[in-house]
Structure formats: structure tokens, C-alpha cells
Amino acid sequence: MQKDFLAGIIEGFYGAPWTPDERRMVLDWMRDWGLNTYFYGPKDDLKQRLLWRDLYSEEECRTLKELIDDCAERKIQFIYALSPGLDIEFSNPDELSCLKDKVQQLADLGCQNFALLFDDIPDRMSAADRERWDSFAAAQSYVSNEIFHWVQQRFPRGRFLFCPTPYCGRMRSRELGGADYLETLGRELDPAIDVFWTGPEIISETISLAHIEELTQALRRPPLIWDNLHANDYDGQRVYCGPYSGRSIEVRDHVRGILINPNNEAPLNFIAARTLALFVHCESAEWDPRSGYLQAMQEWHREFQSAGKPISLEALIQLGDCYYLPFELGSEATRLHQLAKEALSPDSQKDKPQALEEFKRLATQLRDTCSEIVNLKNRNLFTALSRRTWDLREEMELLLTCVRNLESNPSAPLKSDFHLPGTYRGGMVARLRSLLIQKPDETFVLNTQKP
């Protein structure tokens, strides 16, 4: 890994920020695995974003100072991000003073690395700003350069990062932030400032070298990857325990760093962080995500000691495969899903008896693992997993009931005393979700089967 390559974790999701203990757990992982950067930017720390002008209270300062010290003890760079973009008036000198006051407050706590984030904001300027600058990118560059130079005088070796308003390929092609936003930024933003990028999409299945090279030209510097591959704040039903994937080793060598913004549930980021570390330190020319995953799973397995029945490594891998990545299930989950489809076909007993038996065995194993989660000795892991594994167990139970019914009386209507209308798959969100179906080409069609 190059000396100044940033590799680590962004706390930058929407939702409740991590607790101090959770942060310490993540920092311990990072120290042990050779990840060098923790980036503080939880969207719902009010004073990080909506109330960015407000200084932190004494108690909040104590918590932040402890975090900064915790990073320093582990030799991890702490970066504080401020997101003034919701309502900053770029041309107003008082706003610059507010930014400096906030940065000074953090500097007093020991922070030397800063970032300004302009993601997820309205892309329009006030009348006064429009008079002074003809583009959003120019206004943001001006303010960022001012703060950067001010910080640089105090901390010549500190890092300074910037998140643009269009931060992925799709946003760029929609001209979010205005035409030629990135080119203007490339020209006007101080070349020592690193610029974040999430890839072709906000959640990018793959990031190719060609994509990075094209972007590097526009920005006049290699980007710094803000990777949302494992972020789950956009869907309350999912978590991602799959490996760092879809980015080749060559990409690593053409960016200023890779920081992942992972699951809201801190304990569930073991695999994401561990495989990122394996990826950034990988010495061969190829990165094999599945091997990284299996290695990381072996390590994570130690956390799955149960006060009840033991959970085998095989069972844990099967569970992890059900919560793999946004665009991909792990191979054991894919297999189980395929077997379920075969087992549910009306003639499965006659045509596919082996598939039926295999399905019953694997589905029972998965159901039992989900049931066992309640007995985990690591109660934080239990809390992080239990709602999800409860849902998965319900589905496994229903499918096993269904298969048993097919075996005993295929023509009888399928019913389960544990899956009743209203309490099973009920609620407003479920009803709304049933109205539209999305096709693989992104388009939506009306669901004509709706109840």
C-alpha cells in the first residue's frame, strides 16, 4: 500500500450514529488489519450537517475528543467532515467564519484532517452567490480552498477531502450541480484536495479502471473512493455481509484511497472491513472475493459462540450468503433459492426427489441457525442480527410447511397458523410495495396481481 493511501471506514450513513463502544470495536479491527483511516461524517449528527454552524456542547466535545484519542492510540488518522451544503451562502463572509469556528473547535480537540461534503444537497445557489459565481462548482471550490488554506497553515501535513455534489457517474450524466461541474472543480479546487467518488452509481456493483481514468482526467487528480457497496441505510430490511468485490486490484493502484461507508449495524461490518483490508494489502495481481470472504468468515466465526447449540462454520457461511451484497447472493444462498424453486414445483416428489430432500436439509439448517442467533454470547451481534434473522426464519418455516404439505396432500390449500394476514407481510410499506413491480431494465410496471 502506498504511504499516503487512505484505507478505512467512513461513518457516513443516514441513521443513528455508532456508539463510542461500537467505534472502539471498529477501530480495533482497523488497527489489527492495517486500515489507516476513520472518517467521521454521520449524516444524522445534527451539528455535522443540518445545524453545521452550531458548535458542539462540552459533553459532545468530550465524546469527540475521546474518539480522536482512540484513533491516535491506534495510529489511525481521524478525519472530521462538515456538510454545510444544505443552506450555506458561499459569498457571505460570516459563513466562512462559522466554518472556521467549527474547524477550530475540532482542531482544539486534536483533529488535524478535515473534509467538506456537498453531497445530497439542493443544487441551486442564492441570488447573491449567482452574482459572484457562474457555477456551483466555482462557489464550492472557492469556499473549500479558503478553508483548506486556513487549515494548511495550522496543519501542513493534514489531509483535506471534498465530496462533490455529483459524486457518481449517473449524477454526472444528469448534470447534477450544473454542466461541466467536475471539469470546473478540476480546474479550480486546490490540487492538494482529494475528491470523493462513489463509482458509476451511488451503490456501484463494479468500478472499472476505464471509469477511474476518465474521471481522473476531468478532476485533474485521481479520485478517492467513497464506497457504498456495504451501505444499507437505504433499505431497512437488508444487511451486507459479503466480501469487498467488483473492484479490480488495478483500480486500487489508480485512486488516492478507498474508504467504505458500510452497514449501519457496526458489528455486521466485520466481513466488509476485513475483506477491504485483505484487498488493499493483497499482493497478487488478482483479487478473489470469495476466498477473502471464506477467510474472513473463519475469523468472524469466533464471535458466534452460542450459549445454546453451537453454530458451525458451514452454517454461518450459509447465513452470510443470504446477506451477501446488493447485487449478488452468496453461492449457498443461490443454491438454496434454486432448490426451493425446484422443491415447490408440483411434481417435485416424482421428478426431483433429490432436490426436495436437499432443500429440506439446507432449509432446516438455515432455519435452525436463525433460531440460534438469540443465544449468541455476543449480545451486540445478537441485537444487530435478530430482526433480520427472524424474518429469514419465518420464510424458511413457511417454505418447509409448504413442502411438507405438497408431500402429504398436494391438492389441499396451503395454510400456516404462524403466517396470518395482517401480522405476516402486513403494514403500509408492504401494501405500497405490492403496487409496482420493477423490471431488471429499471422500469416499473403496475402489479396487476395486487390483492
Residue 12 in contact with ligand GDL, rule: CB under 6 A: yes
177 C-beta neighbours (distance < 10 Å), count: 24
Binding-site member from 92, 131, 213, 234 for ligand GDL (CB under 6 A): 234
Could you give the CA distance from residue 242 to residue 134 in angstroms, rounded to a whole number? 44
Binding-site member from 95, 188, 233, 358 for ligand GDL (CB under 6 A): 233
Residue given cell 417435485 in the structure block: 348
Which CB, 12 or 169, lies closer to ligand GDL?
12
Q: Contact, 299 vs 268, CB < 8 A?
A: no
Q: Contact, 363 vs 318, CB < 8 A?
A: no
Residue 42 in contact with ligand GDL, rule: CB under 6 A: no
**Would residue 83 be called left, alpha or beta, if left means φ above 0 and alpha means ψ between -120 and 50 degrees?**
beta
Nine cell digits for residue 295: 477467510
314 C-beta neighbours (distance < 10 Å), count: 13
Which CB, 109 or 168, lies closer to ligand GDL?
168
Piece of 12-20, 25-33, 122-130, 392-400 that binds ligand GDL (CB under 6 A) = 12-20
Which CB, 45 or 372, lies closer to ligand GDL?
45
Binding-site member from 25, 72, 202, 209 for ligand GDL (CB under 6 A): 202
For residue 17, give the DSSP letter: P
Piece of 8-16, 243-251, 292-300, 372-380 that binds ligand GDL (CB under 6 A) = 8-16
Closest approach of ligand GDL to the CB of residue 166, in Å: 10
Residue 418 in contact with ligand GDL, rule: CB under 6 A: no
Report helix angle 209-219 to 181-188, nearest 10. Answer: 60
Residue 198 in contact with ligand GDL, rule: CB under 6 A: yes
187 C-beta neighbours (distance < 10 Å), count: 15
Just list the catalytic residues.
120
Looking only at residues 250 through 309 of this chain, which bind ligand GDL when binding is defined by CB under 6 A?
A: 261
Closest approach of ligand GDL to the CB of residue 14, in Å: 6
Piece of 227-235, 265-273, 342-350, 370-378 that binds ligand GDL (CB under 6 A) = 227-235
Residue 13 in contact with ligand GDL, rule: CB under 6 A: yes
Q: Contact, 145 vs 162, CB < 8 A?
A: no
Residue 14 in contact with ligand GDL, rule: CB under 6 A: yes
Residue 38 in contact with ligand GDL, rule: CB under 6 A: no
- List all residues 6 or more positions away from 178 whose beta carbon is below 8 Å from its beta carbon: 123, 135, 136, 137
Residue 370 in contact with ligand GDL, rule: CB under 6 A: no
178 C-beta neighbours (distance < 10 Å), count: 17
For residue 201, give the DSSP letter: S
Instruction: Quickly list H helices, 38-117.
Output: 58-73, 93-108
Residue 119 in contact with ligand GDL, rule: CB under 6 A: yes
Residue 129 in contact with ligand GDL, rule: CB under 6 A: no
Binding mask 141-180 for ligand GDL (x = CB under 6 A): ----------------------x---x-------------
β-pairing, 444-446 vs 436-438, is antiparallel
Which CB, 202 or 398, lies closer to ligand GDL?
202
Residue 442: phi and psi, rounded to 5, are: 85, -20
Piece of 7-15, 63-71, 184-192, 315-323 that binds ligand GDL (CB under 6 A) = 7-15
Closest approach of ligand GDL to the CB of residue 246, in Å: 16
Q: Contact, 109 vs 144, CB < 8 A?
A: no
Closest approach of ligand GDL to the CB of residue 119, in Å: 4
Could you give the CA distance from residue 92 to residue 38 in angstroms, rounded to a whole number? 31
Piece of 1-9, 228-236, 337-345, 441-449 that binds ligand GDL (CB under 6 A) = 228-236
Residue 43 in contact with ligand GDL, rule: CB under 6 A: yes
Binding-site member from 80, 142, 148, 226 for ligand GDL (CB under 6 A): 226
For residue 83, give the DSSP letter: -
Could you give the CA distance from residue 197 to residue 152 in angstroms, rounded to a whole number? 23
> How many amino acids of this chain bind ligand GDL (CB under 6 A)?
16
Q: Contact, 307 vs 375, CB < 8 A?
A: yes
**Would residue 140 be called left, alpha or beta, if left means φ above 0 and alpha means ψ between -120 and 50 degrees?**
alpha
Closest approach of ligand GDL to the CB of residue 228, in Å: 5
Residue given cell 483479487 in the structure block: 287
Closest approach of ligand GDL to the CB of residue 432, in Å: 20
Binding site residues, ligand GDL, CB under 6 A: 12-14, 43, 119-120, 163, 167, 198, 202, 226, 228, 231, 233-234, 261
